[in-house]
A = this chain, B = another copy of it.
Amino acid sequence: MNEYGTPRTDLALEAREALTRRTREDIPGVMVETAEDEEILITRVNIATPEAERMMGKLQGSYVTIEARGLREKNTPLQDKVMKYLADELVSLAKLPPKAVVLVVGLGNWNITPDALGPRAVDKIVVTRHLQGMLTPELKGGVRSVCAIAPGVLGITGMETAEIVHGIVSKIGPDLVIAVDALAAASSHRVITTVQLADTGISPGSGVGNKRFGLNKQSLGVPVIAVGVPTVVHASTIAMDTINTLQQHAAFARYFKSMENLSDQDRNMIVRQVLPETLGDLMVTPKEVDRLIEDIASVVAGGINQAMHPNIDYENIHMYLH
């Protein structure tokens, strides 16, 4: 938890929820708008001031979340809809000219299933940078130059992901980097049901694997859009939530003298008691996480593909895939 008592989450949406639950008032410098239909809720959170950045514990910038509880079921029409919304939001954040060169980077460790979203999504990206000479003129207008890599994590390569990406960016000179990563959520119901886009890039400390580095315009010299999906909740969040539930629900009030005064120190002591030696390493995931990661990687890659290549015939998208 940060100084404002928000739980550990990579979603700006949840950081705001936690903060307003605590302070019970709006956060100055944070603008929110939502749009929804019966299956999907889109929330746009804009963190507009340094003070808001500090309170939220999230970088200044625009965050869009697309939530659809049905994503955990094998629901093809819903997956297609989320892909389309994701493509629209990505187009609107990226403001790319048709001739842009885009590098998609899949972050995370392919040997750790809930951290493997990035590499799995990169597998399904339609790469075209090497085909630009072969495209017909009519296709050319709707197929951007896309390349993609999953560089692997520090423990696998001995190199910071940021070093590898920086080296490649220097050589390739893309107009935009899209970084796909697995995130941690505060609420179990957001796991693999929510996609977040952010024009802030990747922050140090974020993601399932706790990135040690940032990937953003400052470090790479080109704009970075992060596309992430929460795939885990930290086990400590479950313990924390249990305490909060006890504390906040009037139904349990009769048991307590003074739970509203429970100090953060005592909270942490309880959590350490429950999750002792391995605190922070335990992840809560749905049992079918292997299949769900595969499915959501298709949705993420599909959305990126549609945003990058508006003219491809998506009936036959697999023909463009390696």
Which of B115, B259, B287 lies in contact with A114, CB distance below 8 A? B287
Within residues 124 to 145 of chain A, which ones have a CB less than 8 A from any CB in chain B? 127-131, 145
The reply to whether the CB of A22 lies closer than 8 angstroms to some CB of chain B is no
Q: How many copies does the complex hold?
A: 4
Bound-state Cα–Cα, A303 to B282, Å: 27
Q: Is there contact, CB below 8 Å, between B129 and A159?
A: yes
Bound-state Cα–Cα, A266 to B201, Å: 43
Q: Which residues of B contact A164 (CB under 8 A)?
A: 149, 168, 171
Known: A257-B255, A285-B285, A290-B112. A277 touches B189 (CB 8 A): yes
Bound-state Cα–Cα, A262 to B255, Å: 7
The reply to whether the CB of A172 lies closer than 8 angstroms to some CB of chain B is yes
The reply to whether the CB of A271 lies closer than 8 angstroms to some CB of chain B is yes
The reply to whether the CB of A281 lies closer than 8 angstroms to some CB of chain B is yes
Which of B113, B238, B254, B287 lies in contact with A208, CB distance below 8 A? B287
Q: Which residues of B contact A258 (CB under 8 A)?
A: 254-255
Distance of A48 from chain B, by nearest CB (Å): 33
Q: Which residues of B contact A113 (CB under 8 A)?
A: 113, 289-290
Which of B74, B145, B166, B259 lies in contact with A319, CB distance below 8 A? B74
Q: Is there contact, CB below 8 Å, between A170 and B167?
A: yes
Q: Which residues of B contact A151 (CB under 8 A)?
A: 149
Q: Is there contact, CB below 8 Å, between A318 and B76?
A: yes
Bound-state Cα–Cα, A238 to B285, Å: 13
Interface centre among A189, A266, A322 (most CB of B within 10 A): A322
Residue-wise, chain A 43-71 has the 8 Å CB interface mask toward B (1 for contact) of 00000000000000000000000000100
Q: Is there contact, CB below 8 Å, between A157 and B148?
A: yes
Within residues 266 to 291 of chain A, which ones have a CB less than 8 A from any CB in chain B? 266, 269-271, 273-278, 281-291
Q: Which residues of B contact A277 (CB under 8 A)?
A: 69, 189
The reply to whether the CB of A152 lies closer than 8 angstroms to some CB of chain B is yes
Distance of A54 from chain B, by nearest CB (Å): 29
The reply to whether the CB of A250 lies closer than 8 angstroms to some CB of chain B is no
The reply to whether the CB of A243 lies closer than 8 angstroms to some CB of chain B is yes
Known: A113-B289, A258-B254, A285-B285. A172 touches B163 (CB 8 A): yes
The reply to whether the CB of A146 lies closer than 8 angstroms to some CB of chain B is yes
Q: Which residues of B contact A259 (CB under 8 A)?
A: 255
Contacts A/B (CB < 8 Å), 19 sampled: A111-B290, A111-B291, A112-B287, A115-B287, A123-B156, A129-B158, A130-B155, A130-B159, A170-B170, A188-B235, A233-B282, A235-B235, A235-B284, A242-B270, A246-B246, A251-B269, A255-B256, A256-B257, A285-B285
Give the top 3 A-B pairs by smallest Cβ distance, nearest first.
A127-B158, A167-B171, A147-B158
